[in-house]
Structure 1
């Protein structure tokens, strides 16, 4: 199921027939921008339509790591600041943060514990320790992005996220509860996402690209990984826009280009090993 993008073959690209300009008069139609659907709706090419503040098309993304704390949240922040609709999740059974020793982690449940609660608790426990190891700084960033960590396996895909807080970064455009691309930050998280999609049975019959960008779980590597994921998102979104403008109409052009785009990205970011597969919601 997995595909190594570095082994991807270069398929000849489709050449779109140039669209004839509209008859005069009104010249304003020549500047008309392509329209997307409502939030969470699909347009004609099967890609979830979203418009940023400038009216341009944006793919919807989801970032995933083990605890929805470090790597997925750094990528979530970077994508949201670039005006991409984005969600983020963890795949672990519980949220685990480093404690005073390797055998004494701080453990919290998903979906019900806010980043603010974690921050306050650890600040009271040992502010010097958790400031020195970067946990408090990480939580400060996280609570500025969204309310708290969510678990992938508990996500009701396709259900509108009407209760999502308005201040969550990246929430605009992601209210429909579906995404076009899932980016995991560790191979075991990629395995968990792919296995879970198979278990769900594809009730929406909707394709989703599942990409793993392998990032070491520390603050420095998370920063590098976030930059790499944003670069990948820009490449994918540019290709999606090209396919929309080409008028292919079935979305297959973008889907077929993803392995090639990922191979090109891998050459720019060789320190971030990648995997890809096409899954179904």
Structure 2
């Protein structure tokens, strides 16, 4: 079975893009999105993030940060992250503005507030297709190490869903087995387009 997947995080493009990159390499039909108002990348201090509009090419962000302080952004992992992102897609997309263009079978989020936002967004759409969508939250801390672990876990979960003939019938079993094996609690909901 060939399903469509969406990876969604807040605004920094790390967790969702790590998962997107891994799934894309494995041949999955996958997209990724953020839900914030802007793309926010760490800056020289917590009070000085680098803020970009969704749609700003990753290449532009990379060049901008190389101009500002290449050593800082190499050391904190932002430059390598942006290089990875460039290899996945041109620019970040915002869920609320772009996801309505596509119908996904599985939407994977990486923090509970994003799970709630996606669920609310899908519930507020007009349901014309009567097609089910599985929304799952895999809680992942927002740092490079955890994003790498979360990306691998997302891939394993999606591989399990993909290999199941009828995920709707076996979703509870898939989730329980994943939680038992990986010691991660998942939130999930089935909604409709």
TM value normalised by structure 2: 0.96
Of the three residues 58, 72, 75, the one matched with 1:129 is: 72
Residue 191 of structure 1 corresponds to 116
Q: Distance in 1 between matches of 2:156 and 2:143?
A: 20
**Bigger radius of gyration, 1 or 2?**
1
CA contact (8 A) 1:68 1:89 kept: no
Residue 96 of structure 2 corresponds to 153
Of the three residues 57, 63, 70, the one matched with 1:114 is: 57
Residue 43 of structure 2 corresponds to 99
Of the three residues 251, 254, 262, the one matched with 2:175 is: 262
Q: Distance in 2 between matches of 1:134 and 1:100?
A: 13
Q: Distance in 1 between matches of 2:2 and 2:34?
A: 23
More helix by share: 2
More strand by share: 2
CA contact (8 A) 2:36 2:94 kept: yes
Of the three residues 133, 137, 140, the one matched with 1:212 is: 137
Q: Which ranges in structure 2 are unaligned for 5 or more consecutive residues?
A: none
Q: Distance in 1 between matches of 2:128 and 2:78?
A: 39
TM value normalised by structure 1: 0.66
Q: Distance in 2 between matches of 1:259 and 1:92?
A: 30
- Establish whether residue 139 from structure 1 lines up as the match of residue 52 from structure 2: no
Residue 179 of structure 1 corresponds to 104
Q: Distance in 2 between matches of 1:63 and 1:227?
A: 13
Q: Distance in 2 between matches of 1:190 and 1:69?
A: 16
1:137 Cα deviation after fit: 0.6
Q: Distance in 1 between matches of 2:155 and 2:145?
A: 16
Of the three residues 164, 181, 185, the one matched with 1:273 is: 185
Q: Distance in 2 between matches of 1:155 and 1:226?
A: 22
1:179 Cα deviation after fit: 1.5
1:156 Cα deviation after fit: 5.0
CA contact (8 A) 1:68 1:88 kept: no
Question: RMSD over aligned Cα, in angstroms?
Answer: 1.2
